[in-house]
Amino acid sequence: MKFTLAFLLCSYVAETCLPPHIWETQFDTEYDCLVKGYEESLLKIQEIGPDDINTHRMYIKFGCYEAIEELKL
């Protein structure tokens, strides 16, 4: 079983989230997927910076989902 990582960048001020960003690489374990999600979320928050985070009250949600296998015809 493989896992897919999906991120949402959201704003409490705008009361909305951007469309999901799907990580290109799939993961062999849910643990590996979650670790990458936390790492990349922190990097993105640092990249956005405190001014925009605080002004727009932005946050990141992410989840690891069981990957859907491609149908073999």
The model's pLDDT over 10-50, given as tens digits with 9 standing for 90+, comes to 999 999 999 999 999 999 999 999 999 999 999 999 999 99
71, pLDDT greater than 50? no
Say if CB 60 and CB 45 are below 8 A apart: yes
Predicted pLDDT of residue 68:
80
Alpha helices in the chain (DSSP H): 30-48, 50-56
- By the 8 A CB rule, do 65 and 4 touch? yes
